[in-house]
Chain A
Amino acid sequence: MQVLTTAFCLALTLGAYHLAKALNLRYRHPLLNVVLLGATFVIAALLALGIPYQAYVPGRSLMTALLGPATVGLAVPLFRNRDLLRRHAPAILAGVGLGTLTSVLSAGWLATFLALPHDIVLSLLPRSVTIPFAVEIVKLHGGSQALASAFVVATGTVGSVLGATLLTWTGVRDPVARGLALGTAAHGQGTAMAFQEGEEQGTMAGLALTLAGVTTTLLAPLLIRLLVPA
């Protein structure tokens, strides 16, 4: 019975993924986010069929087991574009470094100022990096994996709806700078928007997504001690 339920949960999630992706490709709207849409389909199906969350957990562990190797695989595009990294090193280091600091510090200070509970503040800190980095950060330093993922998706959605316009309004026209901003501030969702602007913007966004994830992970122990004294 357990095996059947797990197999059903796998099939359900795969189906939800393909449906969400098809809708996203058809309408190309940033609000039709594949993660959010896919999870909504799965949750709706579980609720409709009266399957409790606990029954979904074994399938969840099976599926997320590949998240680790996938994150390791981000080294491949980084290595393929190593010449580009070297050529734009100053802009990349400054943009991604300062952007990462801004993202974590602004979330920490604002959330503390607004008196949000401790575990929510911790879950908000990695909101600009892609989900596998964010999940590992909250696993190590506290917070909720689900909330952190939701905040990541919310940040990516805001960034992909407003980011490009905001950059244009404030006079950021350089394609490298636009790509770096989209990837640092809005991870994979921002990268998708950057690829719609052009190849150079998209590639830079993809590099920024990985580098911002690594930077945030490395700075997290220090920043968390600073922002959320235990």
Chain B
Amino acid sequence: MGKAVRIIAQIGLLALFQVLGLRLAAVAHLPIPGNVLGLLLLFLALQSGLVQLKHIQEGADFLLRHLVFFFIPVAVDLMNWGGVFRQHGFRLALVIGVGSVLTFLVTGHASQWLQRRNQPCKS
């Protein structure tokens, strides 16, 4: 099988997990998106050996290498939202700035504290 065919087939397998996730969310009435359930299902399938890395990794690596490309069409919608930034720009900057500082401090210090507690010999 050529590399391109393999990548396409593996993307198909990834899409299958997404569909499984969507079906599971619908059947179980879970307020969780299908792609996130699909991610968890694929992790379990890899963990159990049902799916092996060689079945999926070329397709996954290809999509993840170009992940940013798929964000561009979503962001093009911003051409409809200019007014929001003109009207609320300062408050939005405040929320994002202050929130980011807090998130960095909490994550960094909480995990550093636990790292030091659990590996005292290393530091």
Q: Which chain A residues in 153-206 approach chain B with CB under 8 Å? A: 153-155, 158-159, 162-163, 166-167, 170, 172-174, 176-178, 180-181, 184-186, 188
Partner of A180, one of B61, B79, B102, B108: B108
1/0 contact trace for A101-117 toward B, CB 8 Å?
01100110011001011
- CA separation between A163 and B32, bound complex, in Å? 30
Q: Nearest chain A CB to B13's CB is how many angstroms away? A: 9
- CA separation between A95 and B117, bound complex, in Å? 14
User: Does the CB pair A102–B102 fall under 8 Å?
Assistant: yes
User: Does the CB pair A149–B74 fall under 8 Å?
Assistant: yes
Q: Nearest chain B CB to A120's CB is how many angstroms away? A: 7
Q: Nearest chain A CB to B116's CB is how many angstroms away? A: 7
- CA separation between A140 and B36, bound complex, in Å? 12
User: Does the CB pair B103–A102 fall under 8 Å?
Assistant: yes
Residue of B33, B80, B108 ringed by the most chain A CB atoms within 10 A: B108
- CA separation between A64 and B73, bound complex, in Å? 7
Main secondary structure of the interface of B (DSSP, over half): helix
Partner of A150, one of B63, B78, B100: B78
User: Does the CB pair B111–A181 fall under 8 Å?
Assistant: yes
Given contacts A96-B107, A170-B109, contact A147 B81 (CB under 8 A): yes
Does A135 belong to the interface (CB within 8 Å)?
Answer: yes
User: Does the CB pair A13–B103 fall under 8 Å?
Assistant: no
Tally of B interface residues using CB under 8 Å = 73
Q: Which residues of A contact B (CB under 8 A)?
A: 13-14, 16-17, 20-21, 34-36, 38-39, 42-43, 46-47, 53, 56, 59-60, 63-64, 66-80, 82, 88, 90-92, 94-96, 98-99, 102-103, 106-107, 110-111, 114, 116-117, 120, 124, 127-128, 130-133, 135-137, 139-141, 144-147, 149-151, 153-155, 158-159, 162-163, 166-167, 170, 172-174, 176-178, 180-181, 184-186, 188, 208, 210, 213-214, 217-218, 220-221
Q: Please, could you name 26 A-B residue pairs with CB atoms under 8 Å apart, sorted by A?
A: A39-B76, A60-B73, A63-B73, A70-B67, A72-B60, A76-B57, A76-B64, A79-B46, A94-B114, A98-B107, A99-B110, A103-B102, A107-B95, A120-B84, A124-B95, A140-B31, A145-B77, A146-B78, A147-B81, A149-B75, A153-B75, A163-B100, A174-B111, A177-B111, A180-B108, A184-B103
Instruction: A60-B73, A103-B103, A163-B100 given; name 4 further pairs at CB < 8 Å.
Output: A90-B118, A102-B102, A149-B71, A181-B111
Q: Which residues of B contact A (CB under 8 A)?
A: 11, 14-15, 17-18, 21, 31-36, 38-40, 42-43, 46-47, 53, 56-57, 59-61, 63-64, 66-81, 84, 88, 91-112, 114-118, 123
